[in-house]
Amino acid sequence: MANITRSPWLLHYDGSSCNGCDIEVLACLTPVYDAERFGIINTGDPMQADIFLITGGVNEQNMPVVKQLYEQMPEPKVVVAVGVCACTGGVFKDCYNIIGGADVAIPVDIYVPGCAARPQAIIDGIVKAVALFQERAQKSEKEVDKVG
Amino acid sequence: MKISIILAICYLVLAPFIGGLLEGIDRKLSARMQRRVGPPVLQPFYDVIKLFNKENQVVYKSQSWLIVTYFVLMVLTGVMFFAGFDLLMCFFVMSTSATFLYFAACVTGSPYSTIGGHRELLQMTAYEPAVLLACVGFYLATGSFDVITIATANTSAIKYLPGFFIAFVFILTIKMRKSPFDTSASHHPHQELVKGLTTEFSGKNLALFQVSEWYENVFLLGVVGLFIINSKPVSIIVTLVVVFLTFFLEVLIDNSNGRMKWQQMLKITWIVTIVTAGVNTVVLMFIN
Ligand code: SF4
């Protein structure tokens, strides 16, 4: 199995958030944190993404969008929820429109807490996601071997 | 004759490695220009290996076949060029391959990739005149369209063709998908078309597209080299230096320019082509 941990491409989707975490996600790509040194690219295209970075909670309106983005991503894929909003609903939890964190719509693998989550924490979350990404790729390969 | 076959085989085997390495250097240079550390130089290879390991989502049945055709024709272009065939024929096959890429993007029906495809056609309209004029220029300078005759001429073609050289380097920015002219593929970080042409490519298809681009870049830089090279062995070193400088110039342009609208692209490219290559043609005809 090839080592595919060196090229995690992100899809960043902003749910029902205050935008704080989104700014932090973008901060990861600036020269100070430079996430590209790990091969991370922020693609806008779900079909080319490996890691789904979601910020903000889920409401009635963005629920189908989140699900569709997740389904459009090719296997193997990993979901990272960034910020307490995406983890549980956070400060907006009791709002009339919020259903909950990202995990009410799609299976979330890594939770990055914080309000807002710091760039260091986000990069750490991505690095954890990358390990899981490799594991999944190996697993699906084994399954293919079993079937074939 | 023998050496041209060896060159063609070398191109077939080595071009993806050289192309990938060049892209890695490109990304590293870009990062340094933006005061970042940047990805490792081998990053493009990691990306392609990963893409080959991902699930291949095909949006429309014929999509994969079209991309493979694009790839094969692109490789053929370079092989013909390095084997010393007719230059006109090389560019003809290159345009055909670009058409297949257009079909691969448009057949999906996705609005983003369709707009990307249309912009690709506009880009072709912008760069084709300069490409065809370059062929004419080579003919006027050396009396032949054959790459092998041009490459083994006694004097470098650029002596007669400085205008054509400028025009060709100018359109190289379009062909290599560099800002300000990367309207069709919209590279990161500007994503107004998501990924334009490649929005609906994933997994193996995207990897194949990437490798074709590497083949293409090596071929295009080969054409840049054709302006410089002559029968003297020392010219090979000069050629390599000029090719690398041209490549560096493209990276610099890419990092210091915002995106242009396609109307501006078309206007500027044609003006540059007509002024530089046009004047050069007239002068050459007077001399001849
Ligand atoms: S976790 Fe805090 S900073 Fe992040 S989106 Fe929610 S409210 Fe904003």
Structure tokens at B142: 């050396």
Which domains can be identified in chain A, with CATH numbers? 9-147 (3.40.50.12280)
**pTM (2 decimals)?**
0.90
Q: How far is the CA of A11 from the centre of ligand 1 (A)?
A: 18
Pairing of strands A9-14, A51-55: parallel
Interchain contact A144–B (C-beta under 8 A): no
For A44-75, what is each residue's pLDDT tens digit?
A: 888 888 899 999 889 989 999 999 999 989 88
Is the CB of A31 less than 8 angstroms away from the CB of B191? Answer: no
Interface test with B, best of A40, A47, A73, A78 (most B CBs within 10 A): A47
Q: Which residue has the tokens 């074709």?
A: B212
Could you list the residue range(s) of the whole structural domain that residue B67 is in? 2-287
pLDDT of residue B248: 93
- What is the rounded CA–CA span in Å between residue A80 and residue A83? 10
Is A91 near ligand 1, meaning CB less than 6 Å away? yes
Cα dihedral across residues B252, B29, A26, B204: positive or negative: positive
Is A121 near ligand 1, meaning CB less than 6 Å away? no
pLDDT of residue B198: 83
Q: Which long-range contacts (CB under 8 A, 24 or more apart) does B117-120 make?
A: B117/B184, B117/B197, B119/B183, B119/B184, B119/B193, B119/B196, B119/B197, B119/B262, B120/B184, B120/B197
Q: Residue of the nearest CA to atom 5 in ligand 1?
A: A17
Which residues on chain A are in Cβ contact (under 8 Å) with B50?
A: 2, 4, 6-7, 50
Structure tokens at A6: 């060196």
Interchain contact A138–B (C-beta under 8 A): no
Q: How far is the CA of A10 from the centre of ligand 1 (A)?
A: 19
**Domains of chain B: total:** 1
Looking at residue B274, what DSSP letter applies? I
Report the candidate in B207, B152, B164 with the shortest Cα–Cα distance to residue B215.
B207
User: What does the pLDDT profile of chain B (288 residues) look like in tens digits?
Assistant: 688 888 888 888 999 999 999 999 999 998 898 888 888 899 899 989 888 888 888 888 888 899 999 999 999 999 999 988 889 999 999 999 999 999 988 888 888 888 888 888 888 889 988 898 888 888 888 888 888 888 888 888 888 888 889 999 999 988 888 878 877 777 765 667 777 788 888 888 889 999 999 999 999 999 999 888 888 888 889 889 999 999 999 999 888 887 888 888 889 999 999 999 888 888 888 887
